[in-house]
Amino acid sequence: MELANLKSKSRIILALDHLGKLRDENILRKVIANVAGVKIGLPLVLSEGLSYVVNLLSNKDVYVLADFKLADIPDIMIRVSERIAGFVDGVIAHAFVGCEAISKLREFLKSHGVELFLVVAMTHRGAEEFINRHTEEFIEIARDYADGVVAPATFPDKISLARRILGDKVIVSPGIGAQGAEVGSAIRMGADFEIIGRLITMSEDPLAMVSEINRIHRKILASSTNSHRCSENMR
């Protein structure tokens, strides 16, 4: 399953760091049916166990993106990936480990039909001290070795930079809601998907929240399409 092919379904990647009301499997199933993918990470696995996560997402038609903070030597990143390659569709790793490590991870993942997304900047203000200073270099690594990038909605200029360099490669953006960025703000800057967690999982009505976010995204995308058509007609 390729994430790029799911844009017509939804532009939401649901972050399951906090399950909230989605512990109710009936609610979870309905929510998943209306998002493009789910992001699973260490908070969920460490609190509930890997087998719980596998069972939670088994037999559900949704893209699974693993965010296990991969930033190590190739052997360690590959060993972690071996444990999850059978039930995930994509893996997130940090670009700062360099081209050699990333290329080896990419080779392993590709052999298992798993996509690779590289973190090119982070959402919190402290990231400006070190990692975010090298965003352009990280994007260039992703251009050569990854299927897409993770670029923060809280730093919209990073998204537009990634779009300019990456062409049509996939951009997913965290930082929506609890971290301060508005729903749809990353889509406006050129992201393909927004990673959204607590705004949905801690909502009184997660399904209604997902429906509203999808509505906002569709409105933004329709407006963008119409603007493009007008520009074409004026040439």
Backbone φ, ψ for residue 94 (5° rounding): -90, 135
Residue with tokens 């976010």: 213
Contacts of 115 (CB under 8 A, 6+ apart): 2, 3, 89, 90, 91, 109, 147, 148
| Residue 14 structure tokens | 């649901």
Which H or E run includes 127? none
Amino acid at site 2:
E
Tell me the torsion sign for CA atoms 78, 61, 198, 27.
negative
Q: Output b/e per residue, 29-54; b: 16+ Cβ within 10 A.
A: eebbebbbbbbbbeebbeebeeeebb
Q: Which of 69, 110, 158, 169 is catalytic?
A: 69
Is 69 designated active site?
yes
CA 139 to chain centre: 15
**Alpha helices of 72-147 — where are they, by DSSP H?**
74-84, 99-111, 135-145
**Catalytic residue list:** 69
